[in-house]
Amino acid sequence: MAVARYDRMVARLEQEARLAPGRYRTKVALLALLGFAVLGGAFLLALGLSAGLVIALLAISPLLLLKLVKIVWIPIGFGWMILRALWIRFEPPEGHVLRPDEAPALHAEVERLRQATDAPRLDGIVIDGDINAAAASVPRAFGLLGYRHYLVLGLPLMQALDRDQLAGVIAHEFGHFGGGHGRFSGWIHHVRSSWTRVLMALAGEKALLTGVFMRFFRWYAPYFDAYSFVLARGNEYQADAIAAKTVGAPALGQALIRTGLCAERLHRDYWPALQRRVADSERPPEGLQSDIARVMRSTHDADAGRLAKSLARRPDYEDTHPSLAQRLEALGVAADLQAEPRTSAAESLLGPLLPTLEAQFDRQWRDAVAEGWRAQHQRLCEGRQRLAALEASAAPLSEDERVERALLLDLVGDPAEALPAFRDAIAVAPDDVRLNLRLGELLLAGGDPAGADLLWRAIALDREATPAACEALHAHYRETDDRDGIARTEAEIGGYFGRLARAADARSEVDAPLAALAPHGLDEATVARLRAELAKAKVGVAWLVRRRIEEDPPEAPPHFLLLVNLRGLVVDETAALERVRDAVDALPGSFVVFGSSGHRIMAGRVRKVARGPVFG
């Protein structure tokens, strides 16, 4: 959904919720039910068609039913396809799930707060490595059979807060489980998160009908998100209110301030400093969690300025959370810097489990980044050697070497040292995407708004620069409260990912124009492997073509259309095609398997372009 349209819709709905709250809530409820109606309706339609065919054929002649029994199975097969396309397993949140015998103090504190907030029983307490907390509700059958509830607590968050402050955060999260919202608001909160998870899960599925539901949910999820935004923001205030009633407003207010400041310390100070350590060792350092704990427990000279900037930030429609200033005002809490806690909530509530969790998360982090860390270390070593060779050259550097020198200085040195080199290089290579992108980022980081023009130029030169450029642009425009700039950036990134979504849709579709098809172009060894796989899958004849997808980025993997005629009696063609798809592993990219039934025109195009079967 276009950003400007989304903002206008939410603004209109905010006014409607104030003036006609009943009408607004009715619209949200009906829109929430629409998603369930589409899922259930598609399945019931398939079963109804089967039942209707049976009744009609029995009324005409039982013998006719026996002769046309295959027709009856067609809608049943369609219903089974729907179930397969939507048979999504929602996993519980990742992290360390506390056993009943671990951290008894934390179990007791969480249970005390759960009862005080009238939250449902938990299916687990999860500790992860983020500076965050969450009320995670995992739907059973898309929420039709209820939810499994988990409380997620980030270890860095527990290191940043004292026990009372963490209690405020937990009570706030319990408010989201329904105790603070009322039945309707709590239900909408669950449904809102469920449809987003459905969309994400469908994106990773391969069932033939997934593309159909993806297109619906790509429209539905943002639309429902906009309609329920006002209610979701109200839920945040309600969750804050229930937390303030449970543990006191000062504790929650202090937690909000400290969480924001500590997140800024990690983002602005700790992670950049850690990244610079790649140059010193080919292995990631140990003691990550203890280092983070030290950052959480220390003050920083920039804290006062960062708090002032956070308080000055205007609310927007990107996040359902109100601004910090709005939340503190609603709580009646002053926005003051607080002293660091003498004893953190992690120390108080985790006890002997704390060092075990620190070691566990350290090990997981090192395992996750080890390969990339080594590769970056190697790049830095090679970059230093190449930079030394350029600096030692007696001859004047060529234009390409000046560009290379700027990029190497940025890679191995201080960005401030690289800045003059970038200015020199872009003067001789103004159309170099890398220079425009990185110099734009450096200028904006240094407070120079001229960097925005360079980032927009990078996007114009190469659309694949869009994500990186828009990330820097969006942060800049938010920092400067440039609403037009924010809208332009979000429209640009929305268009970019919209093109990717259309390309993904094309990879799940059978139909394609003749002009988009070409011979498969595979080498004989790959074709031989494909033939062996098709033989095992009981395929009689197969034709293969490559499809060009207009919206694909240059580095996208190839996409193929595989037309097959199946051997023998086929009762369920859909299931048989799925088995063929699962059997094929030789193709170097994505592909769609289909039969000529229902796709006769497309089958003719594929046979024409393929110029003969690839198998059979």
Q: What pLDDT score does 332 carry?
A: 95
Q: Tell me which CATH code domain 393-497 carries.
A: 1.25.40.10
Q: Is the pTM of this model over 0.85?
A: no
- Output the pLDDT for position 551: 83
Q: Where are the domains of the chain?
A: 3-86, 96-181+232-347, 393-497, 514-610
Rounded Cα–Cα distance for residues 278 and 311 (Å)? 35
Can you list the alpha helix ranges (DSSP code H) found in 519-595? Answer: 524-536, 573-583
Q: How many CB atoms lie within 10 A of CB 123?
A: 16
Cα distance between residue 116 and residue 50, in whole Å? 52
Structure tokens at 456: 């927009």
Estimate to the nearest angstrom the gap between the alpha carbon of 35 and the chain centroid: 21
Residue ranges, the chain, pLDDT below 50: 180-181, 206-208
How far, in Å, CA of 106 to CA of 169, rounded?
A: 13
The correct CATH number of 514-610 out of 3.30.460, 1.10.3470, 3.30.70, 2.40.50 is 3.30.460
Per-residue model confidence (pLDDT) at position 598:
76
